[in-house]
Amino acid sequence: MSGFFKTANRACSYRCPMERVDLLAGVLTKTGDLVEGVGADQLSLPTPCPDYDVEALVDHLVGWLLLFESGCHDRSYDGDPGRHRCGADPAAEFRAAAGGLVAGWERYGFDREVAVTGSRTLPAETVFNMTLMEYMTHGWDLAVATGRPAPFTEEEAAEALTRAQATLPPQYRGENMPFGEIVPVDENAPAVERLVAFLGREPRFSPSVPAPDGS
């Protein structure tokens, strides 16, 4: 993760720390609502991430949120977020971790390094950007996989796209990497479609359309 870029605040609209925290809090609330809306009969549905069905995607969302929450509070995460398995109430797990993460950003701010994995740290702004693009994009994944509209506003998605473009290095794309190659999309498409395409998704995903490589 050391290759992730540090975003200059001037590239983004949300420059005030509390504006940034409020932005992330809103995205996490919407993604939490999507988690809560998953039905038992939807757990095996495919998602735009080839490695995850809906159940595995929810586990991924909660596991990594726990890691980001720990890092934001300067705690080490005891475990592998990729091996997290949710209990009977994934939405409650998600919301508890989201609340802790938002509280950490509110309390400790952005002028610091944040632990991500093991002893590795990244600038807080970079970790924030990673979290924002992760949870909006995976929120979109969950929405389209379960047949619901993505709840994110044009403004939220445009900000996440700006931060993703400033944060994600090319070496993290391609086969066996976290992100797929950029999917071509009309420059006038809605911001959320441009965001997911930038992160390697097919914006027109349906279960009958194969997803590109990457997650």
Evaluate whether 211 touches 46 at the Cβ level (below 8 Å). Answer: yes
Q: Is residue 165 part of a domain?
A: no
Evaluate whether 97 touches 62 at the Cβ level (below 8 Å). Answer: yes
- Would you state the pLDDT for residue 79? 86
Q: Is residue 174 part of a domain?
A: no
- Would you state the pLDDT for residue 68? 97
Q: Is residue 203 part of a domain?
A: no
- Would you state the pLDDT for residue 14? 58
| Predicted structure pTM score | 0.90
The CATH number of whichever domain residue 20 belongs to comes to 1.20.120.450
Which residues constitute the domain of residue 119? 16-152
Q: Is residue 215 part of a domain?
A: no
Burial class from Cβ neighbours inside 10 Å (0-12, 13-18, 19+) for residue 56 reads: middle
Q: Is residue 94 part of a domain?
A: yes
- Would you state the pLDDT for residue 10? 44
Evaluate whether 101 touches 77 at the Cβ level (below 8 Å). Answer: no
What are the φ and ψ backbone dihedral angles of 114, each rounded to 5 degrees?
Answer: -125, 130
Per-residue pLDDT of the chain (215 residues; tens, 9 = 90+): 444 454 444 455 556 889 999 999 999 999 999 999 999 999 999 999 988 999 999 999 999 999 999 999 999 888 899 999 999 999 999 999 999 999 999 999 999 999 988 778 999 999 999 999 999 999 999 999 999 999 999 999 999 999 999 888 888 898 888 888 999 999 999 999 999 999 999 999 987 555 555 54
- Would you state the pLDDT for residue 9? 46
Q: Is residue 208 part of a domain?
A: no
Give the number of domains in the chain.
1
